[in-house]
Amino acid sequence: MAGNPAKQKLWGGRFTGETDPLMHAFNQSLKYDQRMHAADIRGSIAYAKALTLVGILTKEEETKIVQGLTAVGKEWESGQFQVQPDDEDIHTANERRLSELIGPLGGKLHTGRSRNDQVATDLRLWLLGQVSEIEAGLVSLIRVMVDRADKERDHLMPGYTHLQRGQPIRWSHLLLSHAFSFTTDLERLRQLIPRISVLPLGSGALAGNPFAVDRHFLAKELGFQSLAENSLWGVGDRDFVIEFMMWASLTTTHLSRISEDFIIYSSAEFGFITLSDAYSTGSSMMPQKKNPDSLELLRGKAGRVFGQMAGFLMSYKGLPSTYNKDLQEDKESLFDTVDTISSCLPIAEGVIATLNVHPQKMRQALTMDVLATDLADYLVRKGVPFRETHHISGRAVALAESRKCQLNELTVTDYKDLHPDFGDDVHGVFDFEASVERRQAIGGPSRAMIDRQVAVLREKLGG
């Protein structure tokens, strides 16, 4: 449609001059907000029904509008929708096309409604649909981790602090530690849903709807759990966008942390795991290389997601009340965040489902010094205070280092010289499996506690 842009815009009646073409392009959001086309049509159909209930539309008019909107939706789905130069956003585009299909009657749809409450409604509707898919992806990722941990509990490995070997643990224990992080992400995501599921429609531009539309009807029709009780807040709130992006920032941080672990463990220096070829790439120069690019990309995406959140939060922080055009910055940040987290979860799942574990390499990394705490605990069981046994065990480590031998290679006499409470059974301490199995308190890496963790996580996932 050619002609005067100002006269064709929803807000154009006040203006007599033409919009600068650069300003039109600067202002336009259709290039990215068209992904909300289904949410916009769904909201408009519900609003048409609400207008009928208050007598603004007849039942016949409602039917024609709903049929027209349905046709517009099919055009979007089939890729046949023709965007026009003056389509500023998805709302303008859909209303313009509706009027082309059903005539002037299409203009009645905007009665009492503003793009301010319309865009807030569309964004919440769209995000609710995305959250449902993301939730399913997160559940699937956690399930793969739990199933793998359940099957591979026999594999022992060093547990690390400061990237230094600390104590023996099970590979399953490490995997489940990350699964618990993702489970808290799942809980937070589910807690977020009620704060997204708040209906703004019926708030108007800022001062509410003058035609007494039934907002409870609208909420029920669109599946919202509640409605915005204050119209100023309803059109101006984007806390739900920021909160979702904060959630995504933390979740991708957890993806980054497990990626860092696996990048280290897949290196030749460790050799604990090998990524499948499906999630690795080679070097353009060094033919021997097998790079964990999937994990490196997952690690890198955390910075991208956090950047999107921080950027929009800075735009949001200084805004006065209700709707301001700065809020248009919410969409690209949110859309990119949703796209990123939606692609990260299945990649992480694929990596974890297909990687190969090398239990012998893990076992070889277990040196006797990781049982130094068990040596101290041996004396604790004889009644010696832990602070004293800690020093005694440290002296044993120093003695073994001076002799260039392992702790288990020191003699019983050596141990009795360190403390008289060491007995002939002291070498029984030097058993990695026994060490792990002694950790029977809730949260530990023993078989019984792995069973418990697996059961807890499966219960949280619903079986």
Percent of the chain with pLDDT over 70: 94
Tell me the CA distances in angstroms from 113 to 10, 167, 446, one per residue in order. Answer: 12, 64, 61
Confirm whether 276 is a catalytic residue. Answer: no
The architecture that CATH gives domain 116-161+169-213+229-364 is Up-down Bundle (1.20)
Mean pLDDT to the nearest integer, 28-38: 89
**Beta-ladder partners of 170:** 156
CATH fold of 20-111: Fumarase C; Chain B, domain 1 (1.10.275)
Confirm whether 162 is a catalytic residue. Answer: yes
| Active-site option among 283, 284, 315, 391 | 283
Query: What's the pLDDT tens digit per position in 174-221?
Result: 999 999 999 999 999 999 999 999 999 999 999 999 999 999 999 999
Query: Does domain 368-430 fall into CATH 3.40.190.10?
Result: no
So what's the pLDDT on residue 7?
Answer: 43
Nearest-angstrom CA–CA distance, 264 and 253: 17
Nearest-angstrom CA–CA distance, 205 and 136: 35
The structure tokens listed for 113 are: 């409604």
Per-residue confidence band for 29, with pLDDT thresholds at 50, 70 and 90: confident
Query: What's the pLDDT tens digit per position in 361-377?
Result: 999 999 999 999 999 99
pTM of the model: 0.91
Crossing angle for the helix pair 329-354 and 293-317, to the nearest 10 degrees: 160
Query: What's the pLDDT tens digit per position in 354-411?
Result: 999 999 999 999 999 999 999 999 999 999 999 999 999 999 999 999 999 999 999 9
Domain ranges of the chain: 20-111, 116-161+169-213+229-364, 368-430
Cβ contacts of 99 within 8 Å, gap of 6 or more: 105, 106, 107
| One-letter identity of residue 372 | A
| Active-site option among 78, 162, 284, 402 | 162
With 90 as the cut, is the pLDDT of residue 226 above it? yes
